Amino acid sequence: MFRVAGSVTASRLSAVCCRTVTAKQFQVHGASLHVLSSETSRKSRNGPAHHRIPPSWQSVRTMASAGDSQAKINYIFYGLAVLFGGGGIIYWWSRKYMRETSKDGNKTKKSTAAVPAESKEATEPVSEKPTSETTKSEAPPAELPPTETPAEAAAPDAESKKLLDAMPQSYPDYEVMPDIPGHAKYLLIGGGTASFAAFRAIRASDAKAQVLVVTEEEELPYMRPPLSKELWYSDEPKLVEKLKFKQWNGKERSVYYNPPSFYVEPKELAYQENGGVAVVKGRKVMKLDPQKQVAVLDNGWEIFYDKVLIATGGRPRNIPVFERASQEVKDRVTLFRGIKDFKRLDEVSRNASTIVVVGGGFLGSELTCALGKRSRDSSLKVIQMFPEPGNMGKVLPEYLSQWTTAKVRGEGATVKPETFVKRARFSDGKVILKLNTGEEISTDHVVVAVGLEPNTELAKESGLEVDDTYGGFRVNAELEARSDIWVAGDASSFYDIKLGRRRVEHHDHAVVSGRLAGENMTGARKPYWHQSMFWSDLGPDVGYEAIGIVDSSLPTVAVFAKATEKDTPKAVVEETGESLRSVTETEAEATLPTKEGVRETKVFDLANYPFALLPHPEVMTLVLHSILWCAPLSLSTCTCTSFC
């Protein structure tokens, strides 16, 4: 960091000197120079009072006049210093003037050369003044002494000129600006849904907020649900290549929350007067220092922050049999999570003959149905296996789990309940799986979808607490881990004021917790009270929606209603225009059966409906019809959306 003492002239000279410093060396806090006041500069220059203070010019002159020989010598040296120093300044300014004049002369030459000789003679007026009266300023540029034009003075190309024209006039030299700012008022670690919801809430409360997002992925913030749902059901491969999809109602949409034009370049963030959001891609925050309020990246760069949000999400779990397998087997295993995994599996599924999906939860069942749909138009064979008695056996009661398994088989997949892999080896270009049943299966590729492990590597290096029971960073009801440090999304173990401490791995929770953290980062101080929902679609015709704690180990009471053609995920999206049910849950009205069997739509209170059960902390209520209906304080409610 450069510290320049003295006047404005000194700061300008320091800025000129900084042009010779590389971007890595020129680390400026907040991308600005610190100019010390004259008083501070004088004190730091002179040092403590007991240090010897060099004699001033006036004192040397007085001593010299008194006949002091040493003073005379000093007097001479002072004069030489002034002489050479002044001469150096004059020489520097003259060189600068010659360079600028040379640039202007070159431009004039180019513009003059572009005019044909005939037109030049016809258009140029004849000077009435004699040549000898021509002043210096009127002399043609060709008479100036030739100077070498530095490489930096070359005319920029069209793209560079466009970038330079777009930069505010207050920018320093763009080449020496650091790629990553040294300070951010709001720093968000992670580029998923929680960060997106957080910076949207921050900007809503602080319109001129400068928000910096640091993500390990090489992607801008995007939504994950379509990666296992709608993207697989598109009939337009070119659309999928652009990561765009059609919702169940046919409306086109991108997985990215915002286009690239929404974001600003990280190096320009500090100069945005109206604020903005910048994303640093492909970087990982290795450590936080809560006392100094600084984040250290994997390349050693330090970012000072005022408020920070940890939204690191989670990484897919693996199972020991594949962790111990050979490299050839590992190369043919996908732990499905992000865009990179979707692209890889999409390509594999177009060329493979067999794919095995390990895992019977929401993600595993969604991918099995998606791949099963693709297998109808190809020779692909899809096999799903899991240790539970049926699909989503840890979440749904047994009878509903069995019904779901039948639906998955109807999509064209082979389902093997109560089955798991004991060994995996590679042979003749195939992965050979030895099952607990004694059967061996040969496959081209394996997809593992068995849950998430929260990313909490920051905790140990940053002095943050990790929940031993639920995993994730332990935070309070306001999602705060320590002063000015918040955690949201999959990585937060938060205190729910209704249900106690818990950790949730669903899209809606990422939206709600990210939004709450963003509001609290701007001073809201709100507790987490919202009961987030989650949903799963097994294609356009079968879907589930749930709220609160949904666990098959809880006693279950079901309320049945006869389904209609409107009771499908596709119908819900067509009615609301939105495929993300975390949005539609606040927009769609509840659809209820009446005593006479005629359906009616209205917003209602469970306590006033004779067929409904009041929520109970130890009872899971199942509502088997299309749209989620429950009181806001329902502790456990699940909706089955399908033709039951």
Q: What DSSP letter does each residue of 231-277 carry, written as one string?
A: GGG-S-HHHHHTTEEE-TTS-EEESBSS-GGGSB-GGGGGG-TT-EE
Q: How many angstroms separate the CA atoms of 517 and 540, rounded?
A: 33
pLDDT, position 251: 83
- Greater model confidence, 159 or 26: 159
Residue 611 main-chain phi, psi, to 5 deg: -90, -5
Give whichever of 5-14, 324-333, 603-612 has the largest mean pLDDT.
Answer: 324-333
- pTM, to two decimals: 0.67
Position 397 in a domain: yes
Domain co-membership, 327 together with 435: yes
pLDDT, position 554: 82
pLDDT digits (tens, 9 = 90+) for 145-182: 444 444 444 455 655 554 545 454 455 566 778 899 99
Residue 62 has pLDDT above 90, yes or no: no
- Greater model confidence, 354 or 399: 354
Distance, CA of 124 to chain centre = 60
pLDDT, position 249: 72
- The enclosing domain of 401 has a CATH number of 3.50.50.60
Domain co-membership, 294 together with 360: no
Position 613 in a domain: no
Domain co-membership, 414 together with 435: yes
Domain co-membership, 426 together with 480: no
Helix (H, G, I), strand (E, B) or coil at 215: strand
Let me know how many helices (H) and strands (E) the chain has, helices first.
17, 32
Domain co-membership, 218 together with 268: yes
Q: How many angstroms separate the CA atoms of 594 and 66, rounded?
A: 115
Domain co-membership, 326 together with 445: yes
Residue 597 CB-density burial (10 A; 0-12 exposed, 13-18 middle, 19+ buried)? exposed
Position 564 in a domain: no
Count of Cβ atoms closer than 10 Å to residue 139 Cβ: 10
Q: How many angstroms separate the CA atoms of 548 and 532, rounded?
A: 7
pLDDT, position 576: 61
Domain closes at, from 406, 421, 451: 451
Residue 123 has pLDDT above 70, yes or no: no
Q: Cβ contacts of residue 30 below 8 Å, gap of 6+? A: 181, 182, 183, 270
Place of tokens 């939004």: 515
pLDDT, position 8: 37
Domain co-membership, 322 together with 381: yes
Position 430 in a domain: yes
CA angle 345, 351, 355 (to 5 degrees): 55
pLDDT, position 33: 34
Q: How many angstroms separate the CA atoms of 297 and 474, rounded?
A: 23
pLDDT, position 580: 60
Position 238 in a domain: no
Do 522 and 511 form a contact (C-beta atoms < 8 A)? no
Number of separate domains in the chain: 2
pLDDT, position 531: 80
Position 590 in a domain: no
Give residue 89's region: left, alpha or beta (phi > 0; psi -120 to 50): alpha
Residue 425: which domain range? 317-451
Domain closes at, from 412, 433, 451: 451
Domain co-membership, 195 together with 300: yes
pLDDT, position 604: 32
pLDDT digits (tens, 9 = 90+) for 240-282: 999 998 886 778 899 999 999 999 999 999 999 999 999 999 9
Position 466 in a domain: yes
Do 409 and 539 form a contact (C-beta atoms < 8 A)? no
Per residue in 410-428, is it b (16+ CB within 10 Å) or e — as a string? ebbbbbbbebebeebebee
Give whichever of 10-24, 62-76, 249-263, 609-623 has the largest mean pLDDT.
Answer: 249-263
Domain co-membership, 466 together with 445: no
- Of 370, 387, 377, 381, nearest to 421 by C-alpha is 387
pLDDT, position 246: 83
pLDDT, position 427: 95
Position 284 in a domain: yes
Domain co-membership, 443 together with 322: yes
Average pLDDT value over all residues in the chain = 75
Domain co-membership, 346 together with 392: yes
Domain closes at, from 411, 427, 451: 451
Domain co-membership, 427 together with 334: yes
Average pLDDT of 132-140?
41
